[in-house]
Amino acid sequence: MLPEVFGGKQKEKVGEIWFAPPKAIAPALLVKYLFTSEKLSVQVHPNDRQARRQGAPVGKEECWYILAAEPDAVLGIGLTKEVSPTKLHAAVACGQIEQLIDWKPVKPGDLFYVPAGTIHAIGPGIQLIEVQQNSDITYRLYDYGRPRELHLDDAISVATPAPYDMKNYRETVPDQSAKLVDGPHFRLFQVVGDDHDILTATVAGEWQVIPLEGKVTARGKTISTGGCGLCTKVSEIDLSKNIRCLIACTMK
């Protein structure tokens, strides 16, 4: 079931909502809302260099901002211990990869940055916002027996079969503005109220605005909760009606 801001109950399952700009615009970043009712597949993404070898323009690094989570909700991120590619392959073949993944409990306000190469999966009962490099290159490592294509060789060739670096985790404070991600591919800010000061020292060619509470105006268009606005200058963002929002921007 979707949150009310997206229409509530639907006839069909909806796993994600993502924001597509007009065809003439090719943004560097992509914003998604994800809603899980079951475990999503175990995946890994390549970095820019690895993606270009496969003919893709960029790789995929992303971050997750947890909006809501059921009491026992977990994310799979990294492994419980470092293993060799051979042992990783064997764990997948024997159906033991789930036991090797580090399943971490989550709560609203948690922020996980997911570097390329990180083995990851999202468990059920979670609502989150994902900000990522605008790339659809994904290698599926394991899918719980569901009849979908796996990309085992590609996945293992780019995976970092090791524990997640908790330096990439952050517990946010709802009533405080903060820089949540600072590169290497994008920055992400939590902005409370009309706090333009946190943004003014940043130079970027692209800004994406995601209201969490209240409204934000981006390039003259009012964006409400559940929406996403795109602009090219920080001066085009009006926070006068903002309560709390996320703002992502490219590195420059």
The two three-digit tokens of residue 10, written as one number:
């639907």
Three-state SS at 218: strand
- Which pair of tokens denotes residue 226? 């559940």
Indicate the burial class of 27 (C-beta count within 10 angstroms; 0-12, 13-18, 19 or more). Answer: middle
The DSSP secondary structure of 75-137, one letter per residue, reads EEEEESS---HHHHHHHHHTT-HHHHEEEEE--TTEEEEE-TT--EEE-SSEEEEEEEES---
Query: Of residues 49, 52, 53, 140, which has the active-site annotation?
Result: 140
Residue 147: cis peptide before it, omega within 30 degrees of 0? no
Residue 140 known to be catalytic:
yes
Please report, as a single letter, which amino acid is at residue 190: Q
Residues annotated catalytic, as ranges:
140
